[in-house]
Structure 1
Amino acid sequence: MQKFKFIIRLISLLSVLFGLICFIIAPSTIATHIADNDKVDAVGPAWQIFILPVLQLLVNELLIFKAKRQRVDNDCVELNFLLPNEQQYIVIAIIVLVVFAGAMYQQITL
């Protein structure tokens, strides 16, 4: 379980670091809503770039909670390796990271 928590929280840290880098290089206003044709519908202050890393943190902590709950339910608390469902949760966290990083990059470049 410790290895799983470490990996998930490392993904959270990467999300926050990418958000910080985007905040540093972002203009004073960023796109907050982008239409289908890549046209900016709404803009907001640059600090709003941190909404996605905060959502990533919430998702990742929920994944940790769910994995811990499943370990308790299945009496697997003492095992020191990743279970198959935990590997799936890591993949989910990485996919969310990639999607959010792409969205943050698009917010500061449009």
Structure 2
Amino acid sequence: MRVFTWIVRSIVGVMVLICLIMISLAPQQVVTHFNGAGLADAFGPRWWLIVLPLLTVILAEFCIRKARQKRRKQGMLQVPTLTGFEGQCIAVLVSFNVMLWVMLQSEIQSLLVGGIVGLL
């Protein structure tokens, strides 16, 4: 269980750090919603982006809690290997974090491209 908790919290820590760096690079106004056609239809201040790392933390702690409940029920709290459920949780967290990274990158892409072009 300790290995799983360590892996999950490491993934979350790295993602929160990346999110905070990217949020600091984001413009003051960011897209908060896209319509069905993929066009931006709602905007808000960049501090709204703090919700994304918070969702990651909540999802991770939920996975840890559910894994602990499953291990307790099966009498496997002290077993050092990962269970199938824990592997699935790690896969979900990684996928969720990749999705968040893509979303944050799209928010600041124009700013970064403009900055790089300005340096050349």
Asked if these proteins are the same fold (TM beyond 0.5), I'd say yes
Contact 1:32 1:107 in 2 (8 A): no
Distance (Å, rounded) in 2 between the aligned partners of 1:2 and 1:18: 24
Q: Which residue type is aligned with residue 100 of structure 2? A: F
The corresponding residue for 1:76 is 76
Distance (Å, rounded) in 1 between the aligned partners of 2:5 and 2:14: 14
Contact 1:31 1:108 in 2 (8 A): no
The corresponding residue for 2:41 is 41
Q: Which residue type is aligned with residue 71 of structure 2? A: R
Question: What is the deviation of 1:38?
Answer: 3.6
The corresponding residue for 1:89 is 89
Tell whether 2:7 aligns with 1:7. Answer: yes
TM-score normalised according to structure 1 size? 0.91
Sequence identity (%):
29
Cα RMSD between the aligned structures? 1.4
Q: Do the aligned partners of residues 9 and 16 (structure 1) sit closer, same or farther apart at CA in structure 2, a change above 3 Å counting?
A: same
Aligned length: 110
Contact 2:23 2:104 in 1 (8 A): no
Greater shift in the superposed pair: 83-92 or 34-43 = 34-43
Please say which structure displays the higher CA radius of gyration. 2
In the alignment, structure 2 segments of 5+ residues that lack a partner are: 111-120
In the alignment, structure 1 segments of 5+ residues that lack a partner are: none
User: Aligned with 1:79: secondary structure?
Assistant: coil
Q: Which residue type is aligned with residue 10 of structure 1? A: S
Question: What is the deviation of 1:39?
Answer: 2.1
